[in-house]
Structure 1
Amino acid sequence: MMHLSALYRYPLKSCKAEPLQQASFDALGLTGDRRWMLVDESNGRFFTQRALPQMSQLSVLWNGRGGVTLSAPGVEGLDVPLPEDLEANLRGVTVWRDTLRVPDAGDEAARWVSEFIGKPTRMVHIPQERARWLPSGYGTVEDKVGFADGFPLLLIGQASLDDLSAKIGRSQEMLRFRPNLVVEGAEAFAEDGWKRIRIGDVEFRLLKGCSRCILTTIDPATGERSEDREPLSTLKTYREKEGEVWFGQNMVNDGPGVVEVGMEVEVLE
């Protein structure tokens, strides 16, 4: 029987994962997932581990009310509340090709993250009413995404990672690929052929494979890049198509609901 073996939330884009035993889903995917982001104070462009691998060492916990708690090695933590007025103190930001105006977290949060990043940085939040559309050609007019790169959810089969680890010759961490949901009990890359699945009372649509980048070469535990560019180098030998390297499936959830680790995963289509 296929089952859900792990759940992860990333409250602040491109920072540490928050492992979960249970997760709820709302109109933007997993509740609290990538609703916060760090941006360059000068131009509003988003920051990620691609250029700033130290972001892998920034821990962020969702507090259930929309706010988060920031912590990092050797630094006193900070509670960042949800902005009281979601229409005030808006800041222009850019995520890939999308430009939008979203609430700024304020100066105290900015000082904390600027010290951590090492240059002037602002922290911003995305409320549901300011969410982005999915990439053109995917999903429906109802499907929206917060600060995730393009889609609200990512699913990976454990057997797919095991297959990759065997080819490399050493175990690879699942968190290099930053999934929200991990499924056990299926064959390697079985998820490539799924269109709809159900977990508990939540149905999901799988919309597009996930193309991978240099971020996968960063060790999530240390923030260091692998000198041999693994696992990306090996992935390119058998998972490259039309110039992109594919691993995992981007998804959306149809409606709200709650799932728990251990639940059965049913393929509907």
Structure 2
Amino acid sequence: MHLSALYRFPLKSCKPEPLQQAAFDGLGLAGDRRWMLVDEASGRFFTQRALPQMSQLAVLWNAKGGVTLSAPGLSPLDVPLPQDIETNLRGVTVWRDTLRVPDAGDEAARWVSEFLGKPTRMVHLPDERARWLPSGYGAIEDRVSFADGFPLLLIGQGSLDDLSSRIGRPQEMLRFRPNLVVEGAEPFAEDSWKRIRIGTMEFRLLKGCSRCILTTIDPATGERNADREPLTTLKTYREREGEIWFGQNMVNDGPGVLEVGMEVVVLE
């Protein structure tokens, strides 16, 4: 088995950044989901679930922590890390979590508001303001950025191939927005893994990933599939207690660097 793909999502629910090599820190993949778009009035987070056009917003992360935004019809915009953090905090909500994080400023807000067509602010998550994992999962020191619940998502290529064969047409891996893709395992082998090693890094797999309507959005066009695939087929054989499972949420034990092609070893 080997690591066949790596993806970073610098801005939550926007386009991924394919990587050949990636560093990992205390919040997972460095630069992953450290930025987020929120409703200007309420601070509630935005995602493709309600705003599928977010799938067309491309984001490149840089080593200083800032990002470059680009989208059809708009000039690219460089957004640096917010300064004067303590005087520039905005209250935001991610699912059940409420927190105060630095706002990216008015220029970024104008750009993302024009793109989405509604008053929007862009915010950043410093390491020291990271969220806790969902209750009952992980260790006391585990933290997560603006990701839905866990720092990392792993999917086996065999699992996607199995799904594609059942649907009758190829499905894009990026519908499921993984950070790591593993090739060479049987379909859904990752469901039984508890600990793995890739290169010199070790990871704990904590829970299956429950899938939602976001997987029915074509990552290339931002359009929803009228037949609600792949959810329709997944429901026939991957539903457990009213939820549809595909992929495994996990955390990394300590920092390190991964590279596409590295061997994957199941430890437990």
TM over 0.5: same fold?
A: yes
Offset from partner CA, 1:199-234 (integer Å, 9 cap, x none): 111100000000000000000000000000000000
Offset from partner CA, 1:133-167 (integer Å, 9 cap, x none): 00000001100000000000000000000000000
Q: 1:61–1:69: 8 Å Cα contact kept in structure 2?
A: yes
| Separation (CA, whole Å) in 2 of partners of 1:82 and 1:88 | 14
SS at match of 2:101: strand
1:133-152 residue pairs with structure 2 within 5 A? 133-152=132-151
Which residue in the other structure is 1:72 paired with? 71
Which residue in the other structure is 2:246 paired with? 247
Q: 1:217–1:225: 8 Å Cα contact kept in structure 2?
A: yes
SS at match of 2:252: strand
Q: 1:86–1:127: 8 Å Cα contact kept in structure 2?
A: no
**Taking structure 2 as the reference length, what is the TM-score of the superposition?**
0.99
Which residue in the other structure is 2:84 paired with? 85
Q: How many residues are treated as equivalent by the alignment?
A: 268
Which residue in the other structure is 2:167 paired with? 168
Which residue in the other structure is 2:121 paired with? 122
| Separation (CA, whole Å) in 2 of partners of 1:84 and 1:266 | 42
Pair 1:237 & 2:228 matched: no
Pair 1:200 & 2:204 matched: no
| Separation (CA, whole Å) in 1 of partners of 2:124 and 2:87 | 12
Offset from partner CA, 1:47-69 (integer Å, 9 cap, x none): 00000000000000001110000
Q: 1:74, CA displacement in angstroms? A: 1.7
Name structure 1 gaps, 5 residues minimum. Answer: none
The amino acid across from 1:150 in the alignment is G
Which residue in the other structure is 2:210 paired with? 211
Q: 1:251, CA displacement in angstroms? A: 0.3
Q: 1:40, CA displacement in angstroms? A: 0.0
| Separation (CA, whole Å) in 2 of partners of 1:47 and 1:90 | 18
Q: Give identity over the alignment, percent.
A: 86
| Separation (CA, whole Å) in 1 of partners of 2:176 and 2:86 | 34
SS at match of 2:158: helix
Which residue in the other structure is 2:35 paired with? 36
Which residue in the other structure is 2:45 paired with? 46
Q: 1:207–1:252: 8 Å Cα contact kept in structure 2?
A: yes
| Separation (CA, whole Å) in 1 of partners of 2:24 and 2:195 | 16
| Separation (CA, whole Å) in 1 of partners of 2:116 and 2:17 | 20
| Separation (CA, whole Å) in 2 of partners of 1:246 and 1:176 | 14
| Separation (CA, whole Å) in 2 of partners of 1:102 and 1:229 | 35
SS at match of 1:167: helix
Name structure 2 gaps, 5 residues minimum. Answer: none
Q: 1:161–1:172: 8 Å Cα contact kept in structure 2?
A: yes
Offset from partner CA, 1:10-55 (integer Å, 9 cap, x none): 0000000100000000000000000000000000000000000000
| Separation (CA, whole Å) in 1 of partners of 2:88 and 2:159 | 44
| Separation (CA, whole Å) in 2 of partners of 1:211 and 1:54 | 22
1:47-62 residue pairs with structure 2 within 5 A? 47-62=46-61
Q: 1:77, CA displacement in angstroms? A: 0.5
The amino acid across from 1:184 in the alignment is E
Q: 1:219–1:225: 8 Å Cα contact kept in structure 2?
A: yes
The amino acid across from 1:227 in the alignment is A
